[in-house]
Amino acid sequence: MLRRVRRQRDTEIVFRRFLPWVLADMGLYAGVLIGLLAAAIIFSNPLIGLSALVPLLMAGRVLLRYHTEAVIVRGALLVMRYGTLAMDEYSVPLWGAAPTYQYGLVARLLNYGTIQVICEGRLLRMRQVASFRTLRTLIASRQATLMTPDTRLLVVSR
């Protein structure tokens, strides 16, 4: 039993948001926070200082989302995980998935992009996913493996 769990965990590959964009968001909120605190000190207004809680909460939200939101390739499934405090996980079988990939020039150079999958009539989208070329290659190779007649029968019958 333990070997099966360990083997399943080893086949799970997690792709998170592109870290430089997370750090840029954190820097933006830190700048606004410092500006509001400086304004509160200069104008001696505690209400402005209290409003500094908003960028602090937004920065915390960015950090929580970085740790909870992910695109996961788990065996024969593509899992999209969303959420800040509570998580929603959507699993799409790779043999039926037709993901679309979007990225611009800068994203292509920095190796991040957006993946979209339709699951049960619902559009699932994850933006700014890091290691994007690796994700595309992994999905394509797993789909190619699953599309052989013998393997597809084994996966569907479970």
Residue 146's pLDDT band (cuts 50, 70, 90): confident
Q: What percent of the chain has pLDDT over 90?
A: 69
Indicate the length of the chain as a whole number.
158
The yes-or-no verdict on residue 40 having pLDDT over 80 is yes
* CA-only gyration radius of the chain, Å: 21
pLDDT in the model for residue 96: 79
Give the CATH number of the domain where residue 7 resides.
2.30.29
Beta strand segments in the chain, E: 12-15, 70-74, 77-83, 87-93, 100-102, 112-119, 122-130
The yes-or-no verdict on residue 35 having pLDDT over 80 is yes
Structure tokens at 114: 């957006």
Q: Residue 17 CB: number of other CB atoms within 10 A?
A: 21
Domain count, the chain: 1
Residue 148's pLDDT band (cuts 50, 70, 90): low
CA-nearest of 133, 19, 11, 137 to 70 is 19
Residue 158's pLDDT band (cuts 50, 70, 90): very low
Q: Residue 16 CB: number of other CB atoms within 10 A?
A: 20
Q: Structural domain of residue 54, as residue ranges?
A: 2-157
Between 12 and 96, residue with greater pLDDT: 12
Between 121 and 9, residue with greater pLDDT: 121
d(CA 155, CA 111): 31
d(CA 74, CA 78): 6
pLDDT in the model for residue 5: 46
Residue 18: DSSP 8-state: -
